Structure 1
Amino acid sequence: MAEYYAKSNDSLSFELTKDDQLIGKLIYQNWFRFNAEIVVSNRAYLIEPKGFWGTTIELKDHDKVLLKFRMNWNGEIVVQTYFDGLKESFAFKHRGVFKESFVLTDQQGVELFVMKPHLKWTSMNYEYHITTSDSFDGFTRKDLLLFTSLHCANYYMSMMVAAIV
């Protein structure tokens, strides 16, 4: 079991750390778009909407699609990875209202981690505390799953705000 922290110093970027060591960054191009860049170990990955409506979002390493996600009819975000030629599916779910959190589960429903958002009222920026399970710690590309989940949390919140307005 490990603990990670995602902190936003401005509204366009997040830094992910574990034991006060920087894992990487999630950087948005602007506030109103879902395009972003993940930088891990001096390597950049692009996140961009796909298709006419942009409802499916892809994580790419140059032209190679490593991961896709989209929101389904019940509010869950379905994540499909294509790491090392193997296709795996995950569900990113929102839980609670007052004790809000997000959970990533595998196909069998096993929780891989819990992500708890915290709004810093002084700067109006979010921070996330992520607690992983032992089974998640065995993943080889867990850094990309963490960053994608961070993007999913932001995506989910923006979709819920848009639905309210």
Structure 2
Amino acid sequence: MKIVSSSGKGNFKLTDRNKEICELVYNNWFSDKAKTVLNGNNIEIKPKNIWTSKVDIYKNNTNIGDITFNLKGQMIIRLEKSNGTECNYVLKNMAKWKLKFEVYNESETLQFSLISVNNWSKLNYDYDIEMADFNSEFEIEELLVYCGYASNLYLAIISAV
């Protein structure tokens, strides 16, 4: 699987063997609001406040979680399971020169990695997905959409510092 940048404003496509699964589209260049349709579900990600320190995740108009930036420079993706319990994933940048995000579950088990494929002609990054010990109640495609958004948000926060 891959995350492929489709525009300079942050849009990206989730693909599997060059077949498009979905495309996350930002409202406009200056917006952190984004939408996609995945497996018949409408997913919307939008900032909770003007500082975009926290963004809410909506699935079919129901708030199912959020993405926040912690003081360790990590993105925390908090999702609510169907039974009401929470599940947290941590997205960490593990490389210095080339972006490599690793995603861990709450048991600190590596689930998968997003490894950047440098393409300097684009304003955004493409990522190859390298699977590890993925074990989740959430579909991998859905989690990858949230991680793709979180990686864009991470880059925006880091570049603003």
One-letter amino acid matched to 2:85: L
- Residue among 7, 10, 35 paired with 2:7: 10
8 A Cα contact 2:5 2:124, kept in partner: yes
Give the drift of 1:51.
3.6
Q: Which runs of 5+ in 1 are unaligned?
A: none
Cα distance in 2 for residues equivalent to 1:54 and 1:152: 11
More helix by share: 1
Alignment deviations for residues 62-85 of structure 1 (CA, whole Å, 9 cap, x no partner): 431122110011111111111313
Structure 2 length-normalised TM: 0.88
- Residue among 30, 33, 43 paired with 1:32: 30
Cα distance in 2 for residues equivalent to 1:144 and 1:6: 12
Alignment deviations for residues 93-147 of structure 1 (CA, whole Å, 9 cap, x no partner): 11111243001101121110110122322343421111122434x5443222100
**1:101 counterpart residue number:** 100
Cα distance in 2 for residues equivalent to 1:102 and 1:59: 20
Structure 1 length-normalised TM: 0.86
**1:82 counterpart residue number:** 80
Moved over 4 A (4+): none
Cα distance in 2 for residues equivalent to 1:38 and 1:133: 26
Q: Alpha carbon RMSD of aligned pairs, Å?
A: 1.8
Give the drift of 1:7.
1.0
More strand by share: 1
Cα distance in 2 for residues equivalent to 1:160 and 1:97: 13
8 A Cα contact 1:95 1:102, kept in partner: yes
- Evaluate the alpha carbon distance shift between residue 49 and residue 134 of structure 1 in structure 2; reply closer, same or farther with a 3 A threshold: same
Q: Which runs of 5+ in 2 are unaligned?
A: none
- Residue among 36, 43, 46 paired with 2:44: 46
User: For 1:10, what is the secondary structure of its paired residue?
Assistant: coil
